[in-house]
Structure 1
Amino acid sequence: MVSDRPGAYAGATIAVAALVLWLMAPRDIPGAQLLADFVRWLPALLHGFAINVAVSIGALTFGTVLGVFVGSLSLARGIVGRAARLWVQAFRNAPWLVLIFFTTYVFPFEFDLGGLIVPFPDWLKVVAALALPASANIAEVFRGAVQSIPSTQWDAAGSLAMSRRQILLLIVLPQCMRRMLPPWMNVYAIITTGTALSSLVGIHDVLDTAQIASTTVAHSSFTVLMYMSALALFFVYCYPVTLATRAVERRLRSR
């Protein structure tokens, strides 16, 4: 059955889509020259995609730390809990491109630390921008994981004179980590695809490299090939994350 082989189904789908796009693309360059130009630009394309991966890892790292902190605060009562939940709702629904432009221009391009000029690179601003929606999503994942723990465990640990902090750190959090892993991996895949927006603020990522290559070679068929290659790189990188997420979910359900 096709449904039992998601990898084969997705691979066939992307292959058919690529074939259709290739057949529809104009033939304004000989095949040998097209291949030679592609091979010449492939290292730059891979280097650009490595920047996308680095930005996604940085954004998820900062987003995870901030998200767990905000998620912990959202469990509290009073103004602290309401402020944390407002953070979650605000950045879960904020357009990512707006956040990227916001961090690009709200932060200075360099800092003066006692006469020492420290630059603040644009890629780090993009990391900060994508860490905001990542933190909001991870905070919600964390809150849901904590609330999924049966209340009887809290009561039993409380009867042993454990504080709420001890119960959270020693009993609840170890169970939450396993429950958080699949949605956390999904957030990473989404953040990775979102790094494509970084090209709009001058980051030399895979899309910016594809655009430069297309302008340099100036042939429509080469342009189609470059953007198809960028699409394929995102798919090849993100789809195994999706498969791993499903495998982790199946393993957790079997326990």
Structure 2
Amino acid sequence: MTRAPDGKAAGFALLLVLAGSAWAQAATPAADGVLTALIRWAPLIGQGFVLNVLISVIAMAVGTLLGLFLGLGQVAPSRWLSRPSVVATQFFRNAPWLVLLFYCIFILPFRVTVLGTTVDVPNWLRATAGLTLPVMANVSEIVRGAVQSVPSGQWEGAASLALSRRRTLWLVILPQCVKRMLPPWMNLYAILLMSTPLASIVGVEEALTMTRNALGAERRSELLIPFYGALLVAFFCACWPVALATRRLEAWAGRERTA
């Protein structure tokens, strides 16, 4: 059985930041200490980190909705529906996330006109669209695997009750798939959140960009390790509860299957 994560990883990450900060404090004669610099720039970097979380939440929500229908399309009896769904899933699932980000940044319009009003489309929103595509494909695979893992006897039993395939899918199969889909879905969200710094490459002012801006303004090389270490801890603290909940859900689902 997989062990649940404990506090050792969190302590190790915190130790790295403290060690880097202590080294930086000892290496600089400046009166302005490392901790003071971190506190001064924390609101700006924190604002960028909120944007990271917002991008991940929107991309996960939209990608989950699209991936649900794409995954159901993969298991549809009609080849006209299943084959395009499989092709789209495999294409976006195996495409590099950074390449999709660049495509969405440069292909999607910079501004749109709605009812005569021109509205600018911010970079972070187009970057969110780029991250939504691989999320959609991975959720599609999660849905397909969960549906196909349900014993065929469930379909046969529903058919004996004169339920249509659609009603069987929504009333019998999908409710059983929820506990199978939750652990990989949460793991995918953690991966997505850790991938949001990719948006900094296409000009989105998220936490990594704000950290670079702060270091550029300070012009103190000894702050490099503490600042990036603090950013590492921030992402770790956001992803660690998700990983912990995923492990517990996996254990719960395993007990349910063996019961």
Q: Measure how far apart 1:4 and its partner are.
A: 5.6
Identify the range of structure 1 (11-20 vs 68-77) with the bigger mean alpha-carbon deviation. Answer: 11-20
Identify the range of structure 1 (10-19 vs 161-170) with the bigger mean alpha-carbon deviation. Answer: 10-19
Q: Measure how far apart 1:203 and its partner are.
A: 1.2
Letter in 2 for 1:47: Q
In structure 2, do the counterparts of structure 1 residues 29 and 186 end up closer, same or farther at CA, with 3 Å as the change threshold?
farther
In structure 2, do the counterparts of structure 1 residues 5 and 81 end up closer, same or farther at CA, with 3 Å as the change threshold?
closer
Q: Measure how far apart 1:148 and its partner are.
A: 0.7
Q: Measure how far apart 1:6 and its partner are.
A: 2.6
Letter in 1 for 2:54: A
Cα deviation 1:148-184 (Å, max 9, x = unaligned): 1110010011011110000001001111112111110
In structure 2, do the counterparts of structure 1 residues 195 and 154 end up closer, same or farther at CA, with 3 Å as the change threshold?
same
Give the distance between the partners of 2:53 and 2:31, measured in 1 at CA: 31
Give the distance between the partners of 1:8 and 1:251, measured in 2 at CA: 21
Aligned counterparts, 1:126-141, within 5 A: 126-141=127-142
Q: Measure how far apart 1:32 and its partner are.
A: 4.5
SS of residue matched to 1:6: coil
Q: Measure how far apart 1:78 and its partner are.
A: 1.3
Q: Measure how far apart 1:79 and its partner are.
A: 3.2
CA contact (8 A) 1:29 1:219 kept: no
Aligned counterparts, 1:36-185, within 5 A: 36-76=36-76, 77-185=78-186
Q: Measure how far apart 1:254 and its partner are.
A: 1.9
1:238 corresponds in structure 2 to 239
Letter in 1 for 2:177: C
In structure 2, do the counterparts of structure 1 residues 222 and 134 end up closer, same or farther at CA, with 3 Å as the change threshold?
same
In structure 2, do the counterparts of structure 1 residues 230 and 105 end up closer, same or farther at CA, with 3 Å as the change threshold?
same
Percent identity between the two aligned chains: 40
Matched, 1:248 2:255: no
CA contact (8 A) 1:94 1:133 kept: yes
Give the distance between the partners of 1:19 and 1:38, measured in 2 at CA: 12
Q: Measure how far apart 1:10 and its partner are.
A: 1.1
Q: Measure how far apart 1:217 and its partner are.
A: 0.2
Give the distance between the partners of 2:4 and 2:100, measured in 1 at CA: 38
CA contact (8 A) 2:93 2:138 kept: yes
Cα deviation 1:72-120 (Å, max 9, x = unaligned): 1111241321111111111111111111111011011111234210221
Give the distance between the partners of 1:22 and 1:40, measured in 2 at CA: 15
Q: Measure how far apart 1:34 and its partner are.
A: 2.3
Letter in 2 for 1:100: L
1:226 corresponds in structure 2 to 227
Identify the range of structure 1 (76-85 vs 6-15) with the bigger mean alpha-carbon deviation. Answer: 6-15
1:6 corresponds in structure 2 to 5
SS of residue matched to 1:108: coil
